[in-house]
Amino acid sequence: MWVWNFAMLTGRSLATFKRDFKKVFGDSPGRWLHDTRLKEAHYQIQKNGKKPSSVFLEVGFESFAHFSNAFKVKYGYSPKSAAI
């Protein structure tokens, strides 16, 4: 639903917004947001020493299991391993 809101704010249809977004950022809005959340979580865990159990909510994931799985798929190791 958030993508539709941005489309309306920019005066574009949903399809046009998605197409233009992909041209600029090289990915769909949903994929871009997902990756951006994971990058921020990775940074918070490694650089700021935050615990994965608190970071997942801060970056916008609703389920720790989903966050942990997505993190492992992207980085090849678990969020807990990133903290070490």
**Stated pTM of the model:** 0.86
pLDDT the model gives residue 1: 67
Q: Please, what is the average pLDDT of the chain?
A: 94
Record the tokens describing residue 16, joined without a space: 């046009």
Q: Where are the domains of the chain?
A: 2-82
* Residue-level length of the chain: 84
Tokens 């399809």 correspond to 15
pLDDT digits (tens, 9 = 90+) for 1-30: 688 899 999 999 999 999 999 999 999 999
- In 3-state terms, the chain is what percent helix, strand and coil (to 5)? 75, 0, 25
pLDDT the model gives residue 49: 92
Percent of the chain residues past pLDDT 70, beyond the cut? 98
pLDDT, average across residues 48-58: 95
CA-to-CA distance for 81 and 42, rounded, in angstroms?
Answer: 11
CATH number for 2-82 (one of 3.40.50.970, 1.10.1750.10, 1.10.760.10, 1.10.10.60): it is 1.10.10.60
